[in-house]
Structure 1
Amino acid sequence: MTTLFNPLLNGFHPDPSVVAVDGVYYLATSTFEYLPGIPIHRSTDFETWELIGHVATRPGQLAVEEVPTAGGAWAPTIRHHDGVFHLVITDAMGRGMLHFTATDAAGPWSDGDLILTADGSESINGIDPDVAWDAEGTAYITFSGLILSGGDIGKHLGIQQVEVDLERHVAREEPRSLWSGVGGQFPEAPHLYEVDGRWYLMIAEGGTERGHGISIARGDSPRGPFETAPQNPLVSARSTIRPIQNTGHGDLVIGPDGDWLCVLLGVRPRSMTRAFSALGRETFVTPVRWQEDGWPAIDPVLLNPRPGTHVEVDFGRDTALDGEWIGVRALPTAHADLTARPGWLTLRGDGSTLDDPRPVFVGRRQEHLTNATTVTLDASAGVGGLAVRYDERFHVEVEAGGGEVVGRAVVGGLVQEWRAPFGGGILDLHVDSRKPVATGGFPATSDVFHLAATIDGERHELGQVDGRFLSSETAESFTGRVIGVYAVTGEVAVQRWVSDGDDG
């Protein structure tokens, strides 16, 4: 019997979509302003998942270089039809609504074609597209009608649909309004399924925060009309004490045991009132049961974390960076040089800092609520360090160079720093995310950052930062924590990366 781990994918992996092809499962998630974009994970048992590639691995596939924070790759849907993988997504505030194809989910994927309005003049204005085909092969794009450009930016038109010519990538009609839920805000994440001759329209509503949930309706045609399920919402953690909150934005699939499953997003908040989600939105899974009346029921999402992990990376000339490394609005290969100094990753600063939208930064997702990362860094020819980033307004770092080591917290424009002298050369930098200790009551935050440096064998504690300031609730972010190395000026070289994490 399949063991359902939760999280299914740890760390910043929101908006999951899944498809089964010949007994193999492929899972896609959102990446927003990070590249490479849209990771594809593969599994044969729904327990062990392998990152096999990304959809956006080349410049131009996503126009995230200039998108504002929170823009970029929003909410993919992955499907398989006539021997081809299809992925539709919105490059928000970038290219628009896109359709990618590949014969192998590991890639390479196509450059991405805009899905145009019926007159061919522009991209369809909406988010969270779904693609489905009826028995005659007619393709339908169903989407959330959030306007992202023009004079009506921010206006929401509910769940909409167009029949589309996927060869020409042009809608065959003007958008039609479909069923948009039971009154929750931001109806989004629509998915269409044909089950036993009926069409089911499943959506998220209530917003992607504490009010999030999943609702469903059904009809005799993918075009509707749709009848509302009597038990909506099918799943929601709002007003509960469940350790996984914000559950919603789901996709259905038949699992390895022949039972239906729902993959969906959620968060793992901590603190006295469980108010702060350090890792942002992660991917979870829960069983689905079909009832005698033909409606599905989705079980509450239960916490079942995997054991902790130890990640150790040594950099070599002949070993490329693995797929877990990501960059901000740039591919990691744009910054990371593995050839200039054998056994080291070299970064060259361009004067930008982590306050800038395009820093010289390469990192990996923080996957566990408790985490300790150490890097060995040579700052003799530049200034740079180790950081945890939510975005350009919320980050913490330990920075070396210019005669000192600096621990720094940047919180919405407020800056606090701790300094120690450093004569230059090689040192170890540490950023530890530790579980808070309750003193005279309940813990009042998600975790506590400990910023430190080891110089000549002696560890120097620089400062501590309340982890709530790097949570999705404080930063109001769609992403999550990314831990990485960066350069500000000159050359900074990193020899070794070690990260240990668990969810205790």
Structure 2
Amino acid sequence: MPETGATVSNPVIPGFHPDPSVCRVGEDYYAACSSFEYFPGIPLFHSRDLVHWTQIGNALDRPSQLRLPLDAPSSGGIYAPTLRHHDGRFWLIVTNVSADGNLLFTATDPAGPWSDPVRLPGVHGIDPDIAWDEDGTCWCTVAGVAQVAIDPRTGETLGPSRRLWSGTPGAKAPEAPHLYRIGDHWYLLIAEGGTERCHGVSVARARTPDGPFEPCPDNPVLTHRGTDRPIQNTGHADLVQGPDGSWWMVLLGVRPGGGSPGWHVIGRETFLVPVDWVDGWPVVGDLSTDLPAPSWPLHPGPSVPGRDDFDLGELAPHWVSVRRRPAEDCTTKERAGWLTLRARGRSLDDADVTFAGRRQQHLSCRVRALIDVSEGSGGLAVRLDEQHHYDVEASSGEVRVRARIGPLSTVVASRPTPPGPVVLRVEVAAVQGVNDPRSGPDTVTVGFEEPDGTFVALASLDGRYLSTEVAGGFTGRVIGMYAASGSAHFDWFAYEPL
């Protein structure tokens, strides 16, 4: 049992893990997040306490489940899954905005395998939610906010779609609907205001799942708009009940850094906040980076390993690639204990780059990897999208640093290196104590290590240019390995929070 006054860290799933959806099955909790242009898609997490989450897989890990064409833009792809458990099965409904529209998947085990998709051609709109009423009718509610009954096994719509509620008058983008039966009412939770600084959470209730819905008189029930709180862009929430009967909300938020206007670089993250019920309405508690520990026992699970020596036959579930990952281009089976990447695109500018990375989950971190470029060239990259990335690349006898910022691309520095494999290194340092209102959120220093371990820093780059506020879109940084020509072999990859 946690001590009185104990706190735990928020976010509970740090890094680029937006649009959380959560469900409880017995003593276990499961969560799913958006994945956009990355493959495999929809990371899935397990927890026993709502605080400590372990990734157990990705729902969409086969090309038959996830189509991401090469012309699918960054921040396209997979939007806003809803995860539910009903009638002994897990159900996952989601939008692929780059191909196929709204899709429904099922599994008996959330770790997988998940089914091939059931297509929902009659469901129009993003951010689909799924809920069942007492007579077994399955309701699908989408951003807008509109609703239609569906047959979840065939994808057929059962009647016309109808508008339920438009959210708060004057607030844009009513989206992320979630429908629940709680007590005597059906509650409709939505996000509105847009997923930037004006984001918020509002709620309405009705006696039946199809309305009419009465808005909460205190909407929005959660927002940090117009404040200087360290967590901003708060919204896209889901409700879950704890083992002691208490209620909790998972939601997305960001931690902007630097001066004005503030830049968030590691994406929208998953936060947790307590919820009370007053006069039949949810009242959301204080959302901060220090969360009062829940009253029940905590169960810390295994965290994402900091080092991967590529000794397994398959990559761990936290590794993601851009749009696709053909086995012949990304394999641990060609050279024992090494990850081999074969180049398709020539650089991170290309939609078809061969890349394997992990989400940056800490505001300050160090990443190192040992690369052998005797059969090609490749390196380490800090990626936001094709037009915003910093790379440290090795080829025979040379290491160079390249920066891509919008339409500008330049080699920042280069240095000869001794023959043989070389350790490439990236260090991200968050800015502390902002004095200049124009200062960026962090510095990204890139280079390589001499054989004796001495770090040769080739360039220190302003991190604001790899932020959502500069690049736009909905994703966060992913740091990883890529091949630029031929084959690049990686003996190990190490990620260390600082």
TM range (shorter): over 0.9
8 Å contact kept, 1:191–1:202: yes
Does the 8 A contact of 1:325 with 1:332 survive in 2? no
- Once the two structures are superposed, the pairs formed by residues 443-454 of structure 1 within 5 Å of their partners are 444-454=439-449
Determine which of 321, 325, 329 is the counterpart of 1:331: 325
Q: Secondary structure at the match of 1:106?
A: coil
Note the alpha carbon deviations across 1:56-91, whole angstroms, 9 max, x for none.
Answer: 011121211332221111000011111011110001
- Determine whether 1:83 maps to 2:78: no
The answer for the alignment partner of 2:241 in structure 1 is 254
Moved more, 387-396 or 473-482: 473-482
* Partner of residue 14, structure 1: 18
Match of 1:368 in 2: 362
Whether the 8 Å contact between 1:335 and 1:362 is mirrored in structure 2 is no
Q: Which residue of 2 aligns with 1:422?
A: 417
For residues 277 and 257 of structure 1, the distance between their equivalents in structure 2, rounded to whole angstroms, comes to: 35
d(CA) in 1 for partners of 2:434, 2:153: 63
The correspondence of residues 88-127 of structure 1 with structure 2, limited to 5 A, is 88-117=93-122, 124-127=123-126
TM-score normalised to structure 1 length: 0.92
Instruction: Name the structure 2 match of 1:285.
Output: 272
CA separation in 1, counterparts of 2:488 and 2:150? Answer: 50
Q: Which residue of 2 aligns with 1:304?
A: 290
Q: Distance in 2 between matches of 1:363 and 1:84?
A: 31
1:197 lines up with 2:184 in the alignment? yes
Counterpart residue number, 1:150: none
Change in 2 beyond 3 A, CA 1:138/1:357? same
Structural mapping, 1:403-418, within 5 Å: 403-416=397-410, 417-418=412-413
Q: How far is 1:474 from its partner?
A: 1.2
DSSP-derived class of the 1:242 partner: coil
**Map of 1:461 onto structure 2:** 457
1:180 pairs with 166, 171, 177, which one?
166
Indicate if the aligned counterparts of 1:335 and 1:361 stay in contact, CA closer than 8 A.
no
Residue 438 to residue 78, structure 1, CA distance change in 2 (3 Å): closer
Whole-Å separation in 2 of the counterparts to 1:27 and 1:84: 15
1:142 aligns with 2:141: yes
Structure-2 residue corresponding to 1:399: 393
Report how many residues are paired.
481
Aligned letter for 1:171? T
RMSD of aligned alpha carbons: 2.0
- The SS at the match of 1:64 is coil
C-alpha separation in 1, matches of 2:243 and 2:441:
35
Residue 54 of structure 1 corresponds to: 58
Higher mean Cα deviation, 5-14 or 63-72? 63-72
Match of 1:121 in 2: none
Q: What residue is the counterpart of 1:24 in the other structure? A: 28
Paired residue for 2:469?
Answer: 473
Could you tell me which runs of 5 or more consecutive residues in structure 1 were left unpaired when the two chains were aligned.
118-123, 145-157
Is the Cα–Cα contact under 8 Å of residues 313 and 333 in structure 2 kept in the other structure?
no
* Aligned-partner residue type, residue 92 of structure 1: V
- Please tell me the residue identity of whatever aligns with 1:269: P
Deviation of 1:309 (Å)? 8.3
Shift of the 366–439 alpha-carbon distance from structure 1 to 2, 3 Å rule, reads closer
TM-score (norm 2): 0.93
Q: CA deviation at 1:21?
A: 0.6
Q: In structure 1, what is the equivalent of residue 335 of structure 2?
A: 341
Q: CA deviation at 1:320?
A: 2.7
Deviation (angstroms), 1:351: 4.3
Secondary structure in 2 matching 1:277? coil
Which residue, 251, 254, 269 being the options, matches 1:264?
251
Instruction: Give the conservation status (yes or no) of the 8 Å contact 2:54–2:304.
Output: no
Deviation at 1:313, TM superposition (A): 1.4
Q: 1:239 to 1:103 in 2, by over 3 A?
A: same
Partner Cα distance (1:243, 1:186) in 2: 24
SS, match of residue 137 in structure 1: coil
Q: Deviations over 1:357-377 (max 9, x none)?
A: 121100111110001101111
CA distance, structure 2, for counterparts of residue 465 and residue 304 of structure 1 = 30
Matched, 1:320 2:314: yes
Distance across 1 between alignment mates of 2:327 and 2:266: 25
Structure 2 segments unaligned to the other structure (5+ residues): 292-299
Quick one: which amino acid aligns to residue 136 of structure 2?
G
Overall identity of the aligned pairs, in %: 46
